[in-house]
């Protein structure tokens, strides 16, 4: 992608130096938490402990060697050290409304050595489980959680601090009933004040604390980094220039799309952690997320008139697949455009340009709930029809059976993903799909299709004027954008 000289190119900062031993960092954090008692003081010898984890869906792209594997192993070994044998430990995998992970994915959550010797229980949470235990309410409806969180002597969360809705107390929220998980929302994924879902997760944490000790370990992950010939891309200008001028880039452009995808997926990635914190899940998560945002964010002195957001050809949840149009919209609008602090990156009424082909392909059977939502004519624009469709989806026994068996996501997930796009859509004046190959799919979501980036930029300048300030996001991986709160808004003609 070639950009004009006056463009605002947003490139992520280089990763921080990683910790040498993630396991040692986690053990130290559990022994010296930021607040409250250490793990040894709250867990009775010989008691039962539930370790709550989540599938490593973020960041995108991920890596087969994930620091969270070492963190889980360190937690298991620390519990063994203080007198809780492996047989008395339960690993609870909470995926919320996403597809329930199967055997191969569960084995990948921990190092092979731990997978071979772990003799405790491994429980995959089911948001539709009729045996969920009620632990209180959140102002409206009762909160019901997996019984592994209530029938235990202590709960330990082991996560990475990615957003206010991923990791920390949010993993406890992901282990509740479908209605509670669905209620989580956020205008910004990095500000607790703009995230009702964070308060809901805190409600779950507080309710559990009334029943059993709850402790959390949170990692600060660096952005994924390529190794080998592409090392330092896209963090360093020299690396970008090297890739741009490489003959391999032109050869890559000549390959058919499936071959390009295989090449991208084969590139070696390095995912590291720069710190670990422990304490009450919300405390450890907030501190880790603050450190991560400071290390990974890019500062903008003022808002932009338009922002170009590349959308990767992968789903935001596991297993990684080619995304359908709604999932592509979620990646750009619900994920990338919610990673801001202080102010949204574009001015109110500005233009968002998503770079994606928007092919209407729904992987069977994992993406079938999205096909059902997409089949409703312009339902995304009609709030009443959308609410009715959501109620019907929540009662669809076939779709629920597909979720329970681990073949598809929960039928409410497409509605939650679309809701996640609403803050960016409501703030922007227009959403344009650059490089769109299915105009009907774009219009179905209320977006404007264009065949290429050039046409999309012309439309953006037509809305904001010839002097429009246009930003280009070099991603993925997506990274935080911090907009100065004191900057003047962009003036529009």
In degrees and rounded to multiples of 5, residue 143 shows phi and psi of -100, 125
**Which pLDDT score is estimated for 239?**
67
Beta carbons of 313 and 258 less than 8 angstroms apart: no
Percentage of the chain with pLDDT > 70? Answer: 90
For 469, the token pair is: 């300030």
Tokens of 92: 């609870």
CA distances from 285 to 38, 44, 163, 198, 281 (A): 16, 24, 9, 11, 6
Confidence of residue 139 (pLDDT cuts 50, 70, 90): low
* pLDDT of 489 higher than 50: no
**Residues 429 and 349: beta-carbon distance below 8 Å:** yes
Q: How confident is the model at residue 235, as a pLDDT?
A: 74
Structure tokens at 320: 């990684």
Q: Tens of pLDDT along 415-464?
A: 999 999 999 999 999 999 999 999 999 998 999 999 999 999 999 999 99
Side-chain half-sphere CA neighbours of 369 within 13 A: 31
Question: What are the pLDDT digits (tens) for 150-167?
Answer: 999 999 999 999 999 999
Q: Could you read off the pLDDT of 238-258 as tens digits, one per residue?
A: 766 676 677 766 676 666 766
- Cβ neighbors of 118 (< 8 A, separation 6 or more) are 76, 86, 89, 91, 110
User: Mean of the pLDDT values across residues 106-135?
Assistant: 95
Average pLDDT over every residue of 310-328: 93
CB-CB contact of 280 with 201 (8 Å): no
**pLDDT (0 to 100) of residue 376:** 75
Mean pLDDT throughout 142-147? Answer: 95
User: In DSSP terms, which residues pair with 103 in a beta bridge?
Assistant: none
Q: Is the pLDDT of residue 356 over 50?
A: yes
| Averaged pLDDT of the chain | 91
Q: Is the pLDDT of residue 266 over 90?
A: no
CATH 3.40.50.11440 residue window(s) in the chain: 22-221
Model-level pTM? 0.92
- The correct answer on CATH 3.20.20.70 for the domain covering 22-221 is no
Sign of CA dihedral 225, 230, 236, 241: negative
Instruction: Considering only CA atoms, give the Rg of the chain.
Output: 22
Strand partners, 93: 53, 124
> Are 283 and 167 a contacting pair, CB within 8 Å?
no
> Is the per-residue pLDDT at 234 higher than 80?
no
The predicted pLDDT at position 493 comes to 39
| CATH topology assigned to domain 297-493 | 2-enoyl-CoA Hydratase; Chain A, domain 1 (3.90.226)
Is residue 264's pLDDT more than 70? no
Which range (12-26, 220-234, 459-473) has the least confidence? 220-234
| More confident of the two residues 382 and 286 | 286
Q: Is a pLDDT exceeding 60 seen at residue 487?
A: no
pLDDT at 260 over 80: no
- Return the pLDDT at 274: 97
- Where does the pLDDT of residue 492 fall: very low under 50, low under 70, confident under 90, or very high at 90 and above? very low
Region of poorest pLDDT, from 4-13, 133-142, 207-216, 383-392: 133-142
CATH 3.90.226.30 residue spans of the chain:
297-493
């Amino acid at each position: 992608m070639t950009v004009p000289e006056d463009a605002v190119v947003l490139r992520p900062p280089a990763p921080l130096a990683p910790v040498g031993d993630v396991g040692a960092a986690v053990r130290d954090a559990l022994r010296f938490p930021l607040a409250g008692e250490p793990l040894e003081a709250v867990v009775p010898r010989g008691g039962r402990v539930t370790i709550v984890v989540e599938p490593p869906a973020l960041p995108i792209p991920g890596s087969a060697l994930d620091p969270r594997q070492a963190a889980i192993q360190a937690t298991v070994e620390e519990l063994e050290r203080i007198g809780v044998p492996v047989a008395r430990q339960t690993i609870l995998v909470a995926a919320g409304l996403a597809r329930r992970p199967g055997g191969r994915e569960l084995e990948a959550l921990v190092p092979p050595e731990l997978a071979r010797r772990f003799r405790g229980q491994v429980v995959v949470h089911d948001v539709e489980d009729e045996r969920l235990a009620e632990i209180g309410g959140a102002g409206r409806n009762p909160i019901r959680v997996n019984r592994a969180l209530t029938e235990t002597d202590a709960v330990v969360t082991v996560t990475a601090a990615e957003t206010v809705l991923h990791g920390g107390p949010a993993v406890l929220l992901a282990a509740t009933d479908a209605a509670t998980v669905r209620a989580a929302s956020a205008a910004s994924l990095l500000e607790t004040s703009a995230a009702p879902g964070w308060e809901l997760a805190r409600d779950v944490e507080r309710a559990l604390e009334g029943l059993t000790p709850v402790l959390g370990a949170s990692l600060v992950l660096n952005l994924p980094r390529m190794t080998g010939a592409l090392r330092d891309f896209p963090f360093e200008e020299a690396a970008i220039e090297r890739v741009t001028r490489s003959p391999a880039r032109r050869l890559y452009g000549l390959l058919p799309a499936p071959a390009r995808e295989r090449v991208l997926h084969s590139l070696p990635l390095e995912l590291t952690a720069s710190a670990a914190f422990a304490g009450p899940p919300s405390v450890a998560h907030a501190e880790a997320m603050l450190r991560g945002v400071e290390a990974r964010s890019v500062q903008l002195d003022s808002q932009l008139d338009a922002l170009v957001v590349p959308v990767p050809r992968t789903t935001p949840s596991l297993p990684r697949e080619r995304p359908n149009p709604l999932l592509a919209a979620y990646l750009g609008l619900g994920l990338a455009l919610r990673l801001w602090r202080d102010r949204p990156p574009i001015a109110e009424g500005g233009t968002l340009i998503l770079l994606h082909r928007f092919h209407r392909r729904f992987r069977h059977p994992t993406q079938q709930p999205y096909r059902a939502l997409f089949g409703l004519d312009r339902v995304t624009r009609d709030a009443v029809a959308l609410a009715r469709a959501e109620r019907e989806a929540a009662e669809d026994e076939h779709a629920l059976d597909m979720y329970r068996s681990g073949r598809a996501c929960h039928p409410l997930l497409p509605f939650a993903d679309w809701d996640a796009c609403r803050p960016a859509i409501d703030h922007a004046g227009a959403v344009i799909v650059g490089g769109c190959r299915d105009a009907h799919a774009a219009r179905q979501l209320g977006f404007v299709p264009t065949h290429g980036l050039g046409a999309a930029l012309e439309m953006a300048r037509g809305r904001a004027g010839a002097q429009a300030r246009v930003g280009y996001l070099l991603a993925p991986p997506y990274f935080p954008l911090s907009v100065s709160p004191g900057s003047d808004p962009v003036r529009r003609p």
